[in-house]
Amino acid sequence: MIDFTGKVALVTGGARGIGRACAQLLAEAGAKVLVTDLARQVEGLTYDTAGSSELERTVADIVAAGGEARAAYVDVRDFTGLQGVVEQAMEWGRLDVVVANAGVASWPHTTWEATEDQWDVMLDVTLKGTWNTVRAAVPAILAGGRGGAIVMIGSTAAVKPLPTIGHYAAAKNGLVGLCKSLALELAKDSVRVNLVHPGGTATYMTENPQAEQWQASFGGGATLELPMPVKRMEPEDVGWAVRWLASDEARYVTGTQLVVDGGATL
Ligand SMILES: NC(=O)c1ccc[n+]([C@@H]2O[C@H](COP(=O)([O-])OP(=O)(O)OC[C@H]3O[C@@H](n4cnc5c(N)ncnc54)[C@H](O)[C@@H]3O)[C@@H](O)[C@H]2O)c1
Rounded distance from Cα 102 to ligand 1 centre (Å): 5
CA of 22 to the centre of ligand 1 (A): 12
Q: How large a percentage of the chain has pLDDT more than 90? A: 91
Answer whether 201 contacts ligand 1 (Cβ < 6 A): yes
From the list 47, 73, 168, 204, the catalytic residue is: 168
* Residue 19 to residue 235: CA distance in whole angstroms: 8
Whether the CB-CB separation of 171 and 128 falls below 8 Å is answered with no
**Is 73 among the catalytic positions?**
no
Domain 8-260 sits in which CATH superfamily? NAD(P)-binding Rossmann-like Domain (3.40.50.720)
- Give the ligand 1 atom nearest the CA of 154: 7
How does the average pLDDT of the chain come out, rounded?
Answer: 96
Q: Is 240 exposed, middle or buried (0-12, 13-18, 19+ CB in 10 A)?
A: middle
What was the pLDDT predicted at 222? 59
- 232: confidence class by pLDDT, cuts 50, 70, 90: confident
Compute, in angstroms, the gap from residue 113 CA to the centroid of ligand 1: 23
Q: Where are the domains of the chain?
A: 8-260
Distance CA 181, CA 42 (A): 29
Confidence of residue 224 (pLDDT cuts 50, 70, 90): low
Q: Whole-model pTM above 0.85?
A: yes
State whether the beta carbon of 106 lies less than 6 angstroms from ligand 1: no
pLDDT at 257: 98
Task: In whole angstroms, give the CA distance from residue 66 to residue 52.
Answer: 22
Q: Is 40 helix (H, G, I), strand (E, B) or coil?
A: coil
The pLDDT score that the predictor gives to residue 215 is 86
Candidate from 18, 176, 226, 237 with most ligand 1 atoms within 8 A of CB, to mutate: 18
Strands in the chain per DSSP E: 8-11, 32-37, 68-73, 97-100, 148-153, 191-198, 257-260
pLDDT tens per residue across span 69-113: 999 999 999 999 999 999 999 999 999 999 999 999 999 999 999
- Name, in order, each residue with C-beta under 8 angstroms of 124's C-beta and a sequence gap of 6 or more: 77
DSSP letter string over 167-186?
Answer: HHHHHHHHHHHHHHHHHHHH
Q: What share of the chain is helix, strand, coil (3-state, %, to 5)?
A: 45, 15, 40
Query: Could you tell me which residues are beta bridge partners of residue 152?
Result: 100, 195
21 CA to centre of ligand 1 in angstroms = 12
* pLDDT tens per residue, range 160-183: 988 899 999 999 999 999 999 999
User: Residue 134, SS3?
Assistant: helix
- Beta carbon of 223 within 6 Å of any ligand 1 atom: no
pLDDT of residue 220: 65
- DSSP at 254: -
Atom of ligand 1 lying closest to residue 16 CA: 39
Q: Are 235 and 47 spatial neighbours (Cβ–Cβ below 8 Å)?
A: no
